[in-house]
Amino acid sequence: MTETTHVFRWDLDKTYLRSEFESWRDLVKSALENASDKQSYPGASALLRALKQTEGHRICIVSGSPTQMRRVLSAKLALDGIDYDEFVLKNNLKNLVRGRFRALRSQVPYKLPTLLESRVALHATPPETLCGDDAEADAIVYCLYADILAGKVTSGDLEAILRASRAYDDQIARTVGLAEQVVHRDTVGRILIHLDLRSPTARFAKFGARVVPIYNYFQAAMILYADGVLSARQVLFVAIDMLNTSEFELSTLANSAQDLIRRGRISTDVASRLAEEASQASDAVDGNPDLPPFDQIADAFADRVRQLGGAPPLEWPDEHPVLDYVNLVDAEYETRRNRRRGRKSHAS
């Protein structure tokens, strides 16, 4: 059996797939779609395929979609060429039958024990990278998971956090029990948050440098290149996949690179190195007559870097700040409730 060297945990809806769950009509439409009808974000499949190219990389998908959609979602991932190691869906039918209506929407009591259970089953402590979105509580869940792995959350604190998240008693007992089983290692190096709702990036500053909001998957690829996870050639594959769509062109990707530099998420040195190595790697990539030459792609990135000059890095007083998770989950609950009230008011 191949040793797991890095775990990548990915959300599905609004992170990998374009999904609309704002109304019951959206839910019914999504449930009736065929695999070929479902659309992934440009570059998302290319990025996951690139990550899986390295032996020992493990792809784990955790989604809030109902278990009844496994067949069509699995078919969609197969169509996209995604080779995953673990795929967990939410058993909302069971929640309905048991009258557990809070569990239908609550994310922390569902995702956190799912992540912990997967970690316990590994019997190892490899580094992890997590990717979610801004539509739910992914940043909170992922940071809490990371702090539990690092041994920064006591059982008593975890219980209080879960109660604030409106978890049921059995969910609390299960989650606390799993947290006590994990081997404590500070192994979550990066948390990527896809801005499906276009939330302000400043909203995530409180989570520290580890959490990086991204507008697209070229930005995700650049961050993972800076982290030493992807090669420049693999970043180039993601760029090509995105340029093959009608949504992105060369200037868009160059602006994405510039945005990360301006936000202090990658340095000008890293961006310059990426452009240089991508240009050298372009000979190993099959050409597409409808796309600009690969050295032109690299030159466009390099131009954006030069335009910024020596952009100062963002100063992080504390790389991993101590987070008040009780207040965070309370605020997230109020945000979701107000959003639902707003939709009902708009509908009436």
The answer to whether the beta carbons of residues 159 and 180 sit under 8 Å apart is: no
Confidence at 98, pLDDT banded by 50, 70, 90: low
Residue 113 has pLDDT above 90, yes or no: yes
pLDDT averaged over the chain?
A: 86
What is residue 46's predicted lDDT score, i.e. its pLDDT?
A: 97
Report the C-alpha gap between 8 and 128 in whole angstroms.
6
Mean pLDDT of the region 97-118:
78
What is residue 320's predicted lDDT score, i.e. its pLDDT?
A: 78
Domains in the chain: ranges and CATH: 6-22+30-212 (3.40.50.1000), 228-308 (no CATH)
User: 262-299, pLDDT tens digit by residue?
Assistant: 888 988 888 888 888 877 775 555 555 566 666 677 77
Query: Which of 177-202 are b and which e, b meaning 16 or more Cβ less than 10 Å from the residue's Cβ?
Result: ebbeebeeeebbebbbbbbbeeeebe
User: 63-93, pLDDT tens digit by residue?
Assistant: 888 888 899 999 999 999 999 999 999 876 6
The answer to whether the beta carbons of residues 260 and 301 sit under 8 Å apart is: no
Q: Which residue has the higher pLDDT, 36 or 109?
A: 109
Residue 250 has pLDDT above 90, yes or no: no
Lowest mean pLDDT among 112-126, 251-265, 333-347: 333-347
What is residue 136's predicted lDDT score, i.e. its pLDDT?
A: 79
**Whole-model pTM?**
0.90
User: 176-226, pLDDT tens digit by residue?
Assistant: 999 999 999 999 999 999 999 999 999 999 999 999 999 999 999 999 999
Neighbours of 110 (CB within 10 A): 24
DSSP 222-241: HHHHHTTSS-HHHHHHHHHH
The answer to whether the beta carbons of residues 196 and 15 sit under 8 Å apart is: yes
Residue 339 has pLDDT above 70, yes or no: no
Mean pLDDT of the region 113-142:
95
